Structure 1
């Protein structure tokens, strides 16, 4: 195993999967988890009342450009999306738009909505360069479009979708505009007023670097009215200790350098991957974020991830089903996803580049063919068993076969239409 880059310091390029909590955030989570374990959740709720019901909503409002009364806490963006979308009062005459970049979790909720209401589920087409076809949206929008769902940044690739442009197209119409900001909030500016959305969901453990299993949603009055919830959104509440830790993470995020002052390591990350022969970027669109997906023509993604981990570099292996309307149709089964945060350095990218070159070179290096080991020596047979007048007969045993180890199995279709019956977008 090669030495870890930067001595004992590991290189974390998986913030899109799980951001590293700071020492302060981890201390808050530990302290209040111990408190709840000793005194119970009701005492914790009483001790953290100001944080849970006021302070964190003020921080979320500042983060999202939203009134504090329009944010709610939840266990994660996917849970919030499923809970809210499932209650929409749609009918057979309503159309719902999604995109090829939609996540599997949100698609599951949309399929359930379609099955319950008999609405039409349509996919917005892409331009040749991978961007959403805004001209198509402008030509086909109407008051029969009841819901439009767009991920700000998808999980399977780093494209930044033009959510503000989409919002301007939808503004004159009655549709509910939902934006999944799970992979955007914390790495890109998110302003619900500028976007023009009525529903926005996000996770706290990615680029915001809070703890797992705590997220949030913004629901505008129009959305709450459409959901017939009278201003109350019944979402599964997160654990109080996790909320307190996220509150600390939000405070640290607000105190960090503004987005425009942060070093943009995305181009360096892309250049590092392009240096390696045989790599293919999965980077559609004209605008990219700090997330980059790629694959190698010979080396499987799982082997790349494990090899990088052995060298102290943390990345993520993504599978096609995470973005089932986009990746499978392009022949992608698995890929590596790397993501940078503002606490990464240029040295981290250099260490990643060196480690990636090393992993690929090692995987492609020819290995010597092993010589089978005989299980028994070549010995003369006993006299009673020697045929042909006592001529010795050699007994040679076959090499022992190794049991096949467990391997990753991914089931993909030849295209989205094989398994996902959606209305054509174009």
Structure 2
């Protein structure tokens, strides 16, 4: 990878050492130009007219995202963020009394709230599958739960935001196929960071965001729904885009994933997200994953060698998210001090992962991307307090 070219293509790299890519990554020029160009067109000829004129770019989004994750274009829906994409998938599952939802200790609390709401409304039950000693979801424990029966859905986050690990998504998919159970993968941190193929993973539904590792606009996301299960899912709400009105008292849902969309949307964002997906594909996601993994490994080693710093990451397969604490120093204060030195990092909050019995108090989170450099890692290390 030509890192200098990629940095030149990323205006933000001239301003800051951005190590908060798990929050929102810096967009490249093509994404910026696509979003700004469409918005400028809207301002001069009108929103409806601009959408008509740029329809080819709007439609390109579906092919671009499908190509990135190994899906079909008719299995992709444009949704305004990863949470809403996940919600549209989860709330479309026809849960019934006695159904079980299996999830992991590292599940996002936002998703856990949805589980509880459905459990109370439908009589379903949420069971949290324990981890291996290294913090990764236990596949043996998952299989034991599947053998008990009554499992309607396995719902997994691919990469938790607070401990650096990558869950074994493909192995989970194999077990779900063997037991005939629906599988929803929250890939908000993995799309754009890892090489993703939904067929290899075996998930039935996958939700993702634009703003994180994919380097797309904020306020964008997408949902993948496997064609074979589409007709078994009813979105929690429909409009005249997701369904066709059949007078006098009927309607017919779309026969593709666009049944999960709404007519009104951030059109400039959809165009920009398609450009971001094409940009990632052109780089080669295997190369992206290798670069991110190598940078994160270097940062972990440098941090572990510093007295008073504890690296908190778990798992046998680490991601680009690096979490740590500094003895005697508040993580939020460290974040603020780093920003004064031109380094963007963030903090993790255990309240965001409510099922995790081992969640630490607030920790510092540095999340690297391929456009980061070793010099930027050194800038972070220099900005950290000494103990």
TM-score under structure 2 normalisation? 0.86
- 2:17 maps to 1:15: no
Larger radius of gyration: 1
Contact between 1:213 and 1:238, CA under 8 Å: does it hold in 2? no
Q: Bigger CA drift: 120-129 or 108-117? A: 108-117
Separation of aligned partners in 2, 1:350 and 1:72: 40
- 2:124 maps to 1:119: yes
Of 130, 136, 144, 2:141 maps to 136
Once the two structures are superposed, residues 134-155 of structure 1 have per-residue CA deviations (whole angstroms, 9 ceiling, x without a partner) of: 1111222145111001111112
- 2:347 maps to 1:300: no
Separation of aligned partners in 2, 1:81 and 1:309: 32
Of 375, 380, 384, 1:347 maps to 375
**Residue of structure 2 equivalent to 1:28:** 34
**Residue of structure 2 equivalent to 1:82:** 87
Q: What is the root-mean-square deviation of aligned Cα atoms in Å?
A: 1.9
Cα displacement (A) at 1:173:
2.2
Of 49, 52, 74, 1:69 maps to 74
Q: Bigger CA drift: 259-268 or 55-64? A: 259-268
Cα displacement (A) at 1:209:
0.6
Contact between 1:152 and 1:162, CA under 8 Å: does it hold in 2? yes
SS in 2 for 1:190: coil
Cα displacement (A) at 1:355:
1.9
Separation of aligned partners in 1, 2:377 and 2:209: 25
Q: Which has the higher contact order (CA 8 A, sep 6+)?
A: 2
Once the two structures are superposed, residues 29-59 of structure 1 have per-residue CA deviations (whole angstroms, 9 ceiling, x without a partner) of: 1121122234332112211212223x11111
Q: 1:137 to 1:291 in 2, by over 3 A?
A: same
**Residue of structure 2 equivalent to 1:161:** 167
Cα displacement (A) at 1:115:
1.7
Q: How many residues align?
A: 350
SS in 2 for 1:217: strand
Of 215, 231, 240, 1:209 maps to 215
Cα displacement (A) at 1:124:
0.7
Cα displacement (A) at 1:9:
4.6
Cα displacement (A) at 1:320:
1.4
Separation of aligned partners in 2, 1:106 and 1:48: 35
Cα displacement (A) at 1:330:
2.9
Of 273, 276, 280, 1:253 maps to 280
SS in 1 for 2:178: coil
Separation of aligned partners in 2, 1:250 and 1:108: 30
Where in structure 1 are there 5+ consecutive unaligned residues? 1-6, 365-426
SS in 2 for 1:89: coil
- 2:335 maps to 1:330: no
SS in 1 for 2:94: coil
Cα displacement (A) at 1:200:
0.2
- 2:207 maps to 1:171: no
TM-score under structure 1 normalisation? 0.78
Identify the structure with the greater helix proportion: 2
